[in-house]
């Protein structure tokens, strides 16, 4: 719904109108989606350049890169240089945000690798739990449908209601 609102009322997504209308932003990647689909995380990996990960999230990173529009838009040396610059600057920004935390862990932890592994897994699990418990869209629908007596998205129709519903048979000749 955020995409639809921001694309239409937000001038093709340049402005975040949906946040003001009660649709807060959220951040999820394909690794979280795979976790919600039941794919286990697998062993902990510390990938050069990319940092901590696991096979599920490494696959998610590949899919995120493949579905990123900037991966496919434009051609030529200038566009490729901008893509790599964006990738490098994003990595530097992420590293800088956590530099003090990394230094503190390296200084104080008996086993920094185990600490990084534990922190990474806890963080990813919290993202999966947040996505699993995200009921914002359902809450907005149920608030609107609560004006209709007996309407609820949380409950299936009763047997009596299902029997009273008209049936439409589709026949293929």
Per-residue pLDDT of the chain (173 residues; tens, 9 = 90+): 677 777 887 777 777 877 777 777 777 789 999 999 999 999 998 888 788 899 999 999 889 888 887 777 777 788 888 888 888 888 888 888 989 999 999 999 999 999 999 999 999 999 999 888 876 655 544 444 444 444 444 444 444 444 544 444 444 43
Q: Is residue 167 part of a domain?
A: no
Confidence at residue 168, expressed as pLDDT on a 0 to 100 scale: 41
Q: Is residue 93 part of a domain?
A: yes
Quote the tokens at residue 140.
Answer: 């907005």
Domain of residue 69, residue span = 29-136
Confidence at residue 19, expressed as pLDDT on a 0 to 100 scale: 77
User: What residues form DSSP beta bridges with 47?
Assistant: 51
Q: Is residue 129 part of a domain?
A: yes
Look up the pTM and report it: 0.63
Asked if 135 contacts 42 with a C-beta cutoff of 8 angstroms, the reply is no
Helix, strand or coil, per DSSP, at residue 132: helix
Q: Is residue 6 part of a domain?
A: no
Number of domains in the chain: 1
Q: Is residue 149 part of a domain?
A: no
Q: 33: which residues sit within 8 A by CB, 6+ positions away?
A: 60, 131
Q: Is residue 172 part of a domain?
A: no
Confidence at residue 135, expressed as pLDDT on a 0 to 100 scale: 66
Confidence at residue 157, expressed as pLDDT on a 0 to 100 scale: 45
Q: Is residue 147 part of a domain?
A: no
Confidence at residue 139, expressed as pLDDT on a 0 to 100 scale: 54
Q: Is residue 15 part of a domain?
A: no
Quote the tokens at residue 13.
Answer: 């997504």
Confidence at residue 1, expressed as pLDDT on a 0 to 100 scale: 67
């Amino acid at each position: 719904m955020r995409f639809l609102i921001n694309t239409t009322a937000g001038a093709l997504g340049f402005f975040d109108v949906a946040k003001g209308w009660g649709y807060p932003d959220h951040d999820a990647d394909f690794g979280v989606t795979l976790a919600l689909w039941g794919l286990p995380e697998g062993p902990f990996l510390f990938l050069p350049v990319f940092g901590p990960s696991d096979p599920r999230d490494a696959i998610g990173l590949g899919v995120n890169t493949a579905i990123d529009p900037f991966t496919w838009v434009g051609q030529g040396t200038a566009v490729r240089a901008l893509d790599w610059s964006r990738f490098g600057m994003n990595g530097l920004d992420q590293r800088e945000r956590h530099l003090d935390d990394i230094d503190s862990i390296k200084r104080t932890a008996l086993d920094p690798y185990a600490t990084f592994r534990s922190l990474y897994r806890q963080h990813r699990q919290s993202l999966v739990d947040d996505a699993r418990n995200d009921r914002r869209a359902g809450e907005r629908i149920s608030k609107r449908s609560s004006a209709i007596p007996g309407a609820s998205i949380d409950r299936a129709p009763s047997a009596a209601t299902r029997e009273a519903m008209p049936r439409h048979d589709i026949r293929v000749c």
